Structure 1
Amino acid sequence: MFLCHDANAGFQAKRIAASDVKPSIDGKLDEKLWSQTQPHDAFYQTQPFDKQKAHLRTEVRVLFDEKYLYVGITAFDTDPQEIRDSFARRDRITIDQDFFALYLDPSSAHKSAQIFYVNARGTVMDGIYSDSAGEDSSPDYDFDVATARFEGGWSAEYRIPFASIAYDKNSTTPWSLLVLRNMTRDQRYRMYSGGVTRATNCNLCYSDTIDGLVDLPSGMNWNLTPQVVSRRSTDAVQGKPSQAIHANQFSLDFKLRPDSATTLDMTLNPDFSQIELDSPQLSGNTRFSIFVQEKRPFFLEGADILRTPFNAISTRSIANPDAGLRYTRRDAEKDISLIVAKDAAGGLVLIPHTYYTSTANANVASVATDARMNLRFGTMSLGMVATDRQYDEINAYNRVFGPDFVWQIDRNQGLRAQLLLSNTTAQADSHDNLAKGVLTSGHAFYAGWSKGDDGWGIGLSVRDLSKDFRDDNGFFSQVGFQSVNNDLTKKWGKLGIWNEFNTYVSSEYKLDSEGNVLSKSISPGMSVAGAYDSSVYVNVNPSVRSRVNADGELYKLTRVSTGFALSPGKRIARVNGDFSVGDVIDVSANRLGKGGSASMSAKLRPLDRLEFDSSYATSWINANDELHSGERAYTETALQINSVLHLSGKDTLRLILQDSRTSRNPELYTSIVAPESSRTVNSLVFTRIAGLGTASYLGWTMTKSETPGFAPKRKQSEIFAKLSWQI
């Protein structure tokens, strides 16, 4: 077993006595209690240079009373005028800003942590972090934080209710905390309160204990959140009478915490209208479904528990729930999550295959049940997943069950594996509707190992998914294959003007269930990182082999890819670009062409209160045969302009413009294809967030779509008002 933190290190928590004056949350840390609390000031860099003491001093102090955990952070700065204190919306803190992040792990299992961010302006971001899956800022917690500037830097005061933290009151294991300070100037400085290194795949293993945090409250509390939505919508299809709908809807969310480790959530008639629009994605030259992130509040409690090597549980598969119930339990030894939801008829069910993803109409209601348990044994955890989708009206089902485990062998080496078994009687009939059919069974297996140090990094993974595996409560776009993937990286360290210089080679070998090669490749490349948080990569695919259907040709492709990222300053906060050129398979025609793809994004702040977050992506294919060589066969574009005006710390006005277009030359296809298709979405929303669960929205959305010759012009518009308040 390895030690996850220095036994002599730790945060010292001081209890606030009844006679003490409690901190006022103004960010200033000027109360006497703070000066009487021992600071933790050992911080280490991972950027721009690894394994170095932080060049600027940061102090962290911890207090607590019978209701709250208080954390005070002071960040000293030799050039405080350069502090990047941008306005931002909740959960929109990015690496171009100065911010603090708390990674709070009450179990000290070093597997996951609740995260609490604040930037120098006072904007917050919260959610869940795990080393295996990264950050998820979807969950929101009730906490207060304020920031303040002083002559030599800035500071922040957190007040986090114990009711917002999932912990076992009876556990004798000390809590763990990791603090990150981020600042971006001519370099990006990433400074941790523990000795995190670039090579590690377990950042949380460098957390330090919070000593003195004893006799905590039971955590019993509850809240009720009613929501009222009023909307008026119109739907106009060319050649048909326009339809108008005016509807009012009332819904209710209830949360109960009978103790500090247990949470019960219930929702009735929830409104899951998208206040945040899903970003447009390029999908015209693929036969596989694209994953969409969960954003709906009810499904976000304990969302990290549901994560496994496979997307065995994807709550977006519950398309239109009438009601839902969720049980979540966290303690030092285990995590448990159970979700039951009644899903109304009308959604789509993904039916994955080897060479494409099809869908079936779920024209009957269903009950979706997702169960997940994760047991911890030191540096190893053992999990179990069970899902069930019961279609009562047709007396059919889909069920998935299986174990998984994670072993953190040491700080730089980890092993993960998962096995899932499925049984399905809900099959697609000749009209693509779900109906009771013959029983089919399948399996899905994954194993992955990774190890890294200052000089090398290696990752190896294998997958085996049988052709009859299906998971109606998860997300699987492809089954019926076996694959081996490998990544090997040589780390050269600082080289010339670059802070990091790496060379790498990636490989893949993938077979279908009949033993035919699906794809194989060996792809060398290099990546560098430098000033202004810049990075550049070049990746060469000299000989990729790939096919798009069982009877099709195994094509040989050559491609070159490159990309960059940069944080120039306060006004041009972040720019990114990714580009690829070479051979491309035109999936619709099952032929090889010449083409490429390009995607670019930029975060701009021309004014202090105005930000633009825009993206553009395009892909294209030119015919490559003798008769039509060089003629454009296919083009697709996706554009989003997301602009936000910060009227105050609580009020924002957001305008989103989206445009997606696809064009094909019918003369270059043997099958019937649509020459043009387009979809535009415009959205204007005023938001006022008075507190967690208490918010009001007033918005307008208009969508236009058209596929000439295949689908008529359609215009949909909606005006809505939404109000929620927490009791």
Structure 2
Amino acid sequence: MKLPALLLIALPLPLLAQDPAPPRPSIEIPRIEAEVTVDGVFDEPAWQQATVVRDFHQYRPVDGRPAEDSTVVMVWYSPTAIHFGIRAYDRDPAGVRATLADRDNIGSDDQVTIYLDTFNDRRRAYFFGVNPLGVQDDGVRAEGGFVASFQSGTVDRNPDFIYETSGRRTPDGWVVEMRVPFKSLRYGSGDMQTWGFNVARTTQRTQYEDTWTDVRRAGASFLAQAGLITGIHDIKRGVVTELQPTVTAGLPGVRTGAQFERGDPALDVGGNVRLGFTNLTLDGTINPDFSQVESDAGLVTVNERFALFFPERRPFFLEGIELFASPNNLVYTRTIGNPLVGAKLTGKFGKWSVAHLSAIDEFGGDAANALVNISRVRRDIGANSVAGLTVTDRERDGGFNRVLSGDTRIVFAELYYLQAQLGASWTRDDASGETRSDPIWQLEVDRTGRLFGFNYKLIGIGEDFATQSGFVNRTGIVTASAFNRLAFYGGRGNLVESVTLFGGGSRIWNYDDVFAARALEGGTELNTSVRLRGGWNLSTRTENGFVRFNAADYSGYTVVAAGQPEPFIPPSGVFDAWSGRLTVGTPQFRQWDGSITIGGGATAIFPEAARGTRRQAQAAITVRPSPSLRAFGTVTWTRLSRTSDGTEFARTVIPRLKVEFQPKRSLFFRVVGEYRSERRDALRSADGRVLLVGGNPTPTTLTNRLRMDWLASYQPTPGTVAFFGYGSTLDTDEELSLRGLERRDDGFFVKLAYLFRR
């Protein structure tokens, strides 16, 4: 197993001295022995004693400027909760955007978000958001991810914390009141508490985002630029115990030949349990059911060589997922396909963060189940840097896959970070098999400046590296990329508010002869992004790429010559493949917003080892005809044609529509429909001869399929919920048509859950 010496040098870098943290604005909030009604009126005496925060700064699209609209935040705390009162003034009160949306779905509304970094570590913060009607949006923001332009972070909206909100529109804007119980938070030990604190306000009419502290986009961290709350002491929390029994009933149906048969009803009983201590949380689940989770949006897969990434959507795995994050997706919980039981431990002890997940992945029948264990330990270094260790283990029927990886992210001079990773895997297919092993490594340096930035990265993955608990879809390669960014900003009131140029290139080599041979594939690209006054966005992408075909991938291909099969010899590759893309996005108008993307250019048709032309278009629209009704529509169209004769190789059309109706905050209805129409021609060589794979021709394929999912939910409080849903898949032989649709399968389900909490 090869281990690059460069990474052995880079990993000890956390031992180096770190830059001291810059001074942070601070407020001291009063402790008041009072209970108030959360109604958005602020008529209790406690509000007259609250600490007041004002003088916000613009953060997006242009930072470093005073906010155009005034925001005032009042803060105080009682022994059991922290209270916030927000007055959001607006120069155009009639333009305030607000809908009675489902929880965590207020992205199209005006909103205010409170960030509480309760461990004051600048790396992870609770956020509590609210729109003008009091609809909530909460979760956890964690720093340390990578977006090669400005500071980044992961946002986990899966946690549903218990807190109270009330909002209303006023003649000069809107106001909201918020009460966050200390039982909903974890925080460090000690009688006196100092927390990181910030407030962000988004105004959809202008697409401006303001923050209390003067957060600059030129910086490796958003949370590191927060202010401080002091004066918190003698607060009451105790141990939070949550028990949520669940009952799920299902009624499946499937077509067998000409008959559609309804299966027997199935009843499943499960449950979730949580013990929350001051700085530690233990979660458990038995027989979890995720029927209510929205299905993945369809992707175009007809010309893909490697597996596509689909984000995790299941609540048990989503909550706290940022604590497992490591470079190169070594933890990907969707590999646990059918969990029978699971347990998760997450906590923070001083500078140490710990996370552990255990689960049994059920395969059914006589097949052996898999035992999965995933652990991540991370230590804070200096003001903003971290070092971590990830260990994963998946065992099944005598075989195993184990991964061990160390990584570090060093932030220095406020604008720069250096990230390094070194790991390896050990895999055995069964009890009598041999163990295979190979390394994975990464070295990355980034500058996140306001006007100029860059990201340079080198990743190596050995041929025998495997992670059955993560997502690494290509091995045996070394990838190098280098990108630079330039940004320009217009003056206040200018038509053009900002212009960003982001360009560079990447190359991929074979792992065993890296840099000694020609690259397998790569490209050079230039991306532009223009932000116009009012929220209009324009972006373009121009790329010149190449790829070399691997003859071994086509070893089973033959063509017929003079009546006899002979080996198919693929061309060397596709070169000078120019392509481009243009996207136009509208502002957030009161009742709608949308975007459209068109693109095309030269590409490789991998199933035929040929040069082709790709044309694509995508349109998206969101419509909000009333505060309680929303519709989201997308249409994706892609066509691949052969350069040799202009004939079509493949065409995909995917329209998708989601409609949500929420007559009140506790009652929610959703319907999702997606139609997939896909056709692909039989494989043939560039000279028109039929390509045989394994001695057989590949037939023309045609798919026209509709998927419909209906859901109704009633959730009076977080965790206590009733779901009723129906999903069906229908096929037809008529292209892009609803005529002749025939059910292939369907299913009804009812799910009841009740949360006991103390």
Find the aligned partners of 2:678 and 2:56 in 1 and give their Cα distance: 51
Find the aligned partners of 2:337 and 2:323 in 1 and give their Cα distance: 21
Partner letter of residue 389 of structure 2? Answer: M
Check the 8 A contact 1:184/1:532 in 2, yes or no.
Answer: no
Find the aligned partners of 1:568 and 1:312 in 2 and give their Cα distance: 37
**Which residue matches 2:156?**
136
**Which residue matches 2:750?**
721
The structural deviation recorded for 1:622 is 0.9
**Which residue matches 2:547?**
546
Find the aligned partners of 1:342 and 1:565 in 2 and give their Cα distance: 44
Find the aligned partners of 2:742 and 2:305 in 1 and give their Cα distance: 25
**Which residue matches 1:623?**
642
Q: Which of 388, 394, 418 is the aligned partner of 1:389?
A: 394
Deviates more, 1:694-703 or 1:669-678: 669-678
Check the 8 A contact 2:156/2:319 in 1, yes or no.
Answer: no
Q: Does 1:653 align with 2:669?
A: yes
**Which residue matches 2:244?**
225
Check the 8 A contact 2:292/2:711 in 1, yes or no.
Answer: no
CA-based RMSD of the aligned residues comes to 2.2
Check the 8 A contact 1:614/1:640 in 2, yes or no.
Answer: yes
**Which residue matches 1:445?**
441
Q: Does 1:405 align with 2:392?
A: no
**Which residue matches 1:350?**
none
**Which residue matches 2:111?**
99
Find the aligned partners of 1:713 and 1:473 in 2 and give their Cα distance: 37
Q: Which runs of 5+ in 2 are unaligned?
A: 1-17, 146-152, 553-569, 685-689, 693-697, 735-740
The structural deviation recorded for 1:107 is 1.6
Q: Which of 411, 415, 419 is the aligned partner of 1:416?
A: 419
**Which residue matches 1:125?**
137
Find the aligned partners of 1:683 and 1:262 in 2 and give their Cα distance: 37
Q: Does 1:635 align with 2:651?
A: yes
Q: Aligned with 1:14: secondary structure?
A: coil
**Which residue matches 2:507?**
509
Q: Aligned ranges for residues 507-546 of structure 1 at < 5 Å?
A: 507-515=505-513, 517-541=519-543, 543-546=544-547
User: How far does the alpha carbon of each residue in 1:491-522 deviate from its partner, in whole angstroms, 9 at most, with x for none?
Assistant: 22228621001223221011122445222212
Find the aligned partners of 2:409 and 2:529 in 1 and give their Cα distance: 29
Check the 8 A contact 1:169/1:217 in 2, yes or no.
Answer: no
Q: Aligned with 1:33: secondary structure?
A: helix
**Which residue matches 2:484?**
488
Find the aligned partners of 1:489 and 1:136 in 2 and give their Cα distance: 28
Find the aligned partners of 2:264 and 2:445 in 1 and give their Cα distance: 54
Q: In the superposition, relative to structure 1, how do residues 215 and 518 fare at CA in structure 2: closer, same or farther (>3 Å)? A: farther
Check the 8 A contact 1:107/1:331 in 2, yes or no.
Answer: no
Check the 8 A contact 1:251/1:269 in 2, yes or no.
Answer: yes
User: How far does the alpha carbon of each residue in 1:56-100 deviate from its partner, in whole angstroms, 9 at most, with x for none?
Assistant: 221222222222122222211222121101222111121x32101
Check the 8 A contact 2:272/2:285 in 1, yes or no.
Answer: yes
Q: Aligned with 1:242: secondary structure?
A: strand
Q: In the superposition, relative to structure 1, how do residues 705 and 464 fare at CA in structure 2: closer, same or farther (>3 Å)? A: farther
User: How far does the alpha carbon of each residue in 1:435-456 deviate from its partner, in whole angstroms, 9 at most, with x for none?
Assistant: 7522100111122221132321
TM value normalised by structure 2: 0.87
Check the 8 A contact 1:12/1:37 in 2, yes or no.
Answer: no
The structural deviation recorded for 1:388 is 0.5
Q: In the superposition, relative to structure 1, how do residues 526 and 269 fare at CA in structure 2: closer, same or farther (>3 Å)? A: closer
Q: Does 1:460 align with 2:456?
A: yes
Find the aligned partners of 1:550 and 1:205 in 2 and give their Cα distance: 50
**Which residue matches 1:278?**
296
Q: Which runs of 5+ in 1 are unaligned?
A: 348-361, 428-434
Find the aligned partners of 1:444 and 1:707 in 2 and give their Cα distance: 46
Check the 8 A contact 2:191/2:233 in 1, yes or no.
Answer: no
Q: In the superposition, relative to structure 1, how do residues 417 and 28 fare at CA in structure 2: closer, same or farther (>3 Å)? A: farther
Check the 8 A contact 1:280/1:639 in 2, yes or no.
Answer: no
Q: In the superposition, relative to structure 1, how do residues 436 and 252 fare at CA in structure 2: closer, same or farther (>3 Å)? A: farther
**Which residue matches 1:87?**
100
Check the 8 A contact 1:342/1:368 in 2, yes or no.
Answer: yes
Find the aligned partners of 2:367 and 2:705 in 1 and give their Cα distance: 26
**Which residue matches 1:166?**
186
The structural deviation recorded for 1:705 is 4.6
The structural deviation recorded for 1:6 is 3.6
Check the 8 A contact 2:253/2:263 in 1, yes or no.
Answer: yes
The structural deviation recorded for 1:575 is 1.1
Q: Does 1:112 align with 2:138?
A: no
Q: Aligned ranges for residues 237-276 of structure 1 at < 5 Å?
A: 237-239=256-258, 242-257=261-276, 259-276=277-294
TM value normalised by structure 1: 0.91
Q: Aligned with 1:443: secondary structure?
A: strand
Find the aligned partners of 1:39 and 1:11 in 2 and give their Cα distance: 9
User: How far does the alpha carbon of each residue in 1:127-150 deviate from its partner, in whole angstroms, 9 at most, with x for none?
Assistant: 221232432222222222111223
Q: Which of 366, 369, 391 is the aligned partner of 2:370?
A: 366
Find the aligned partners of 2:27 and 2:344 in 1 and give their Cα distance: 34
User: How far does the alpha carbon of each residue in 1:594-615 deviate from its partner, in whole angstroms, 9 at most, with x for none?
Assistant: 1222222111112332111111
Determine what percentage of the aligned residue pairs are the same residue. Answer: 22
Q: In the superposition, relative to structure 1, how do residues 468 and 65 fare at CA in structure 2: closer, same or farther (>3 Å)? A: same
Find the aligned partners of 1:667 and 1:422 in 2 and give their Cα distance: 37
Partner letter of residue 385 of structure 2? Answer: M
Find the aligned partners of 2:732 and 2:242 in 1 and give their Cα distance: 45
The structural deviation recorded for 1:183 is 0.1
Q: In the superposition, relative to structure 1, how do residues 170 and 146 fare at CA in structure 2: closer, same or farther (>3 Å)? A: same
